[in-house]
Homo-oligomer: A and B are copies of this chain.
């Protein structure tokens, strides 16, 4: 976010938004055997934060989350799932915002809306890593991907939000079969297993993982992939959900 954007944020028409309510998004991507989280560097500070925003009076909360993500990533149709509302009474962020305001030459009274206590709705998002261009968003504040197990100290309670998002994702992996939303259209069984191992934080036995996934009858086998290694070529699979699933 450029200074100008920050100024607009602090000056924005608070009538247009629901006060004291925010959205924070934990965007997951899968790249090089790692589960990544998208973080935003707050204007000219060493602080990293989750991408977030506010809810317009005339939009659904779910739509607000989608809009916020679009503004950051330029991507539509991102898979989004609300997972928790964070509502501790001390969720006000006066110090950080005062510091940023000072940097961009803004003076704000004690009663500025941003100094109030905020309840934040946590969403997690699953994206196809290569399809997201983090520089293509409307907002110019620098973004970066971090390994979910190497997330730096974040502002506010954002580390806690990441943790809870990860736990929810782990539970959802088998329940909702959301893992495929982190992979491209076609993928090998090894890539899928690597994804599961990374998210769950455990090693799985290759043969049994393959048997279990195939027995679910949710994968269509396409052609073989001839590429690279000095070994048998793996098949490529495509996710075909059963009718009673999403």
Indicate whether A121 reaches chain B with its CB closer than 8 angstroms: yes
Contacting chain B: which of A14-22, A44-52, A200-208, A225-233? A14-22
List which A174-228 residues lie within 8 A (CB) of chain B.
175
The secondary structure that dominates the A interface is: mixed
As a 0/1 sequence over residues 113 to 146 of chain A, the CB contacts with chain B under 8 angstroms (1 = contact) are 0000101010000000000000000000000000
A89 partner residues in chain B, CB cutoff 8 A = 57-60, 63
CA distance A38 to B18 in the complex (A): 30
User: A residues bordering B, Cβ < 8 Å?
Assistant: 18-21, 55, 57-64, 82, 84-85, 87-89, 117, 119, 121, 171, 175
> When the two chains form their complex, are residues B119 and A61 in contact, meaning their CB atoms are under 8 A apart?
yes
Closest to A117 in B: B57
A63 partner residues in chain B, CB cutoff 8 A = 89
Q: A85-B82, A85-B85 are in contact. Are A18 and B119 (CB under 8 A)?
A: yes
CA distance A61 to B89 in the complex (A): 7
A-B contact pairs, 28 of them (CB 8 A): A18-B19, A18-B20, A18-B21, A18-B117, A18-B119, A19-B19, A19-B20, A20-B21, A21-B21, A21-B119, A55-B119, A57-B89, A58-B89, A59-B89, A60-B87, A60-B88, A60-B89, A61-B85, A61-B87, A61-B119, A62-B87, A63-B89, A64-B87, A82-B84, A82-B85, A85-B85, A85-B121, A87-B121
A59 partner residues in chain B, CB cutoff 8 A = 89
A119 partner residues in chain B, CB cutoff 8 A = 18, 21, 55, 61, 121
Closest to A171 in B: B175
Closest to A89 in B: B60
A87 partner residues in chain B, CB cutoff 8 A = 55, 60-62, 64, 121
Q: How far is the CB of A106 from chain B (nearest CB, A)?
A: 25
A82 partner residues in chain B, CB cutoff 8 A = 84-85
A64 partner residues in chain B, CB cutoff 8 A = 87
Q: Which of A18, A55, A57 has the most CB of B within 10 A?
A: A18
A19 partner residues in chain B, CB cutoff 8 A = 18-20
CA distance A64 to B19 in the complex (A): 18
Q: How far is the CB of A81 from chain B (nearest CB, A)?
A: 11
Q: How far is the CB of A160 from chain B (nearest CB, A)?
A: 14
Closest to A90 in B: B60
A61 partner residues in chain B, CB cutoff 8 A = 85, 87-88, 119
